[in-house]
A and B are shown apart, each in its own frame.
Chain A
């Protein structure tokens, strides 16, 4: 039984044609189901809990990366399969999962290649792709074994579960988080000098001398330090394409 969650943006007239094409294709493939449109007024968590109780086995998110990030945090604790039909300009997650855009993604959903993938968790908040931390005087306590101290220059820390950062693909099935630390040193009359550090860890505890915002790429949400970041292996069942990056 399929359940479709449409992003609130799709109420715009410019998406009418695409939605009609998708719905026709889904009916052709025999995988159509109940549709629910997200909005600020609806409590998505309550709706999803009720639907799962009714016997929904697969939830298809129709929208962009932001929609996927929002919904995945809510459904991570349910034992259901998740599919994505990407619509809109920001669809990096769909690209990494090997899903084509709009109606073409329906065929991938019908073929149902299901992979159990890891999810990152920051202070009981799940994320699929990555998060970014920027600033000075940051300390990362990795796996409770060693500390990474970042003192000089401006540091950009990227903690990825599923991403294609600095031309390195972070695999969501390896059970580890990829930590990229880019240090940028600004120079007058010369090019900025940047260096890259790269680690793989299971748990990271982020602290700073003052509160530092952590930017969640999925949902564009900000969480403040101190934060405990962990990986939850094989947490989510996701429908992926053959052209996936991992």
Chain B
């Protein structure tokens, strides 16, 4: 997905290292960030943050590859990959998280979706089971005990 990132028609935005963006940056295409952003980034597709980039913003994306620094909360619907040079100072909420050795993540982390959470069984409503009376082996034992012994 992120191997080589030449500017193609699919790449809608490239923020180069000489550029500083301030404000709410909202787009529907792939975004590559190599420079600095202050504010908010929101994309419905992929986001790539280069190793020298600095983001002081809340980030929303479908997939993200973080090699630079983010100071703000990150919400990624599908896959978030933090490489060894990546730093996130903020809370993250992701579908799938991949963290490389050497990366920094400071903040709360929430992975997966609410659907994946299994339901807690409610034991309080369940009636008590009388193990002695219910087991068939116990009943047979009772029968044997009640039988009179045959005289020879």
Interface of B, helix, strand, loop or mixed by DSSP: strand
- The answer to whether A151 and B20 touch across the interface, beta carbons within 8 angstroms, is yes
**Interchain CB contact under 8 A, B18 and A168:** no
Assess whether A195 is in contact with B20, with CB atoms less than 8 Å apart: no
Minimal beta-carbon separation of B63 from chain A (angstroms): 20
Write the nearest CB–CB distance from A174 to chain B, whole angstroms: 10
B23 touches which one: A146, A150, A152, A166 (CB < 8 A)?
Answer: A146
Q: B6-14, B78-86, B112-120, B134-142: which one contacts chain A?
A: B6-14
- Among B14, B21, B35, point to the contact of A146 (Cβ < 8 A): B21
B29 touches A200 (CB 8 A): yes
Tell whether A148 pairs with B19 under 8 Å between CB atoms, given A195-B34, A196-B7, A200-B29.
yes
Shortest distance between the CB of B119 and any CB in chain A (Å)? 43
- Least Cβ–Cβ distance between B48 and chain A, in angstroms: 13
In B1-52, the 8 Å CB interface with A consists of 7, 9, 11-27, 29, 34-35, 39
Question: In chain A, what residue has the closest Cβ to B6?
Answer: A167
Q: In the complex, A152→B19 CA distance in Å? A: 9
Q: Beta-carbon contacts of A193-207 to B below 8 Å, as 1s and 0s?
A: 001111110000000
| Complex contact A181–B24 (CB within 8 A) | no
**A150 close to B25 (CB less than 8 A):** no
Proximity bits, A132-165, B CB within 8 Å = 1, else 0: 0000000000000111111111010000000000
Are B16 and A149 neighbours in the complex by a CB distance under 8 Å?
no
* A185: nearest chain-B partner, CB-CB: B18
Interface pair B18/A197, CB less than 8 Å apart: yes
Does A130 sit within 8 A of B, measured CB to CB?
no
Name B18's contact: one of A147, A155, A166 (CB within 8 Å): A155
What total count of A-B pairs have CB within 8 Å? Answer: 64
| Number of A interface residues in the complex (CB < 8 A) | 22
Interface pair A197/B22, CB less than 8 Å apart: no
Contact B21 A183 (CB under 8 A): no
Q: Give A200 Cβ to nearest chain B Cβ, in Å.
A: 6
Task: Answer whether A150 and B7 are a contact pair too, CB < 8 Å, given A145-B25, A200-B29.
Answer: no
Q: A168-B7, A198-B13 are in contact. Are A146 and B24 (CB under 8 A)?
A: yes
Residue in A closest to B25 when the chains form the complex, CB atoms: A146
In the bound complex, how far is the Cα of B16 from the Cα of A152, in angstroms? 12
- A145-B35 Cα distance, complex, nearest whole Å: 18
* Nearest-Cβ distance from residue B7 to partner chain A, whole angstroms: 6
B24, B29, B35: which contacts A197 (Cβ < 8 A)?
A: B35
> Distance (Å) between the CB of B53 and the closest chain A CB?
12
Residues of chain B within 8 A of A196, CB atoms compared: 7, 14, 16
For residue A159, give the distance in angstroms from its CB to the closest CB of chain B.
15
Query: A54 to nearest B CB, angstroms?
Result: 43
B4 to chain A, nearest CB (A): 15
Closest to B41 in A: A146
Nearest B residue to A198 via CB reads B14
Interface residues of A in 174-232 (CB under 8 A from B): 181, 183, 185, 195-200
Provide the residues of chain A in CB contact with B25, threshold 8 Å.
145-146
Residue in chain A with minimal CB distance to B17: A195
The 10 closest A-B pairs by CB, nearest first: A146-B23, A183-B18, A197-B16, A198-B14, A195-B16, A149-B20, A147-B22, A197-B19, A146-B25, A145-B24
In the assembled complex, 21 residue pairs joining A and B whose CB atoms fall closer than 8 Å, in A order, are A145-B23, A146-B22, A146-B23, A146-B39, A147-B23, A149-B19, A150-B18, A151-B20, A152-B18, A166-B7, A169-B9, A181-B16, A183-B19, A195-B17, A195-B18, A198-B7, A198-B13, A199-B14, A199-B15, A200-B12, A200-B27
- List residues of B whose CB falls within 8 A of some A CB: 7, 9, 11-27, 29, 34-35, 39
Task: Apart from A146-B21, A150-B18, list 17 A-B contacts with CB within 8 A.
Answer: A145-B23, A145-B24, A146-B23, A146-B24, A149-B21, A153-B18, A168-B7, A169-B9, A181-B18, A181-B19, A183-B16, A183-B17, A185-B18, A197-B14, A199-B15, A200-B12, A200-B13
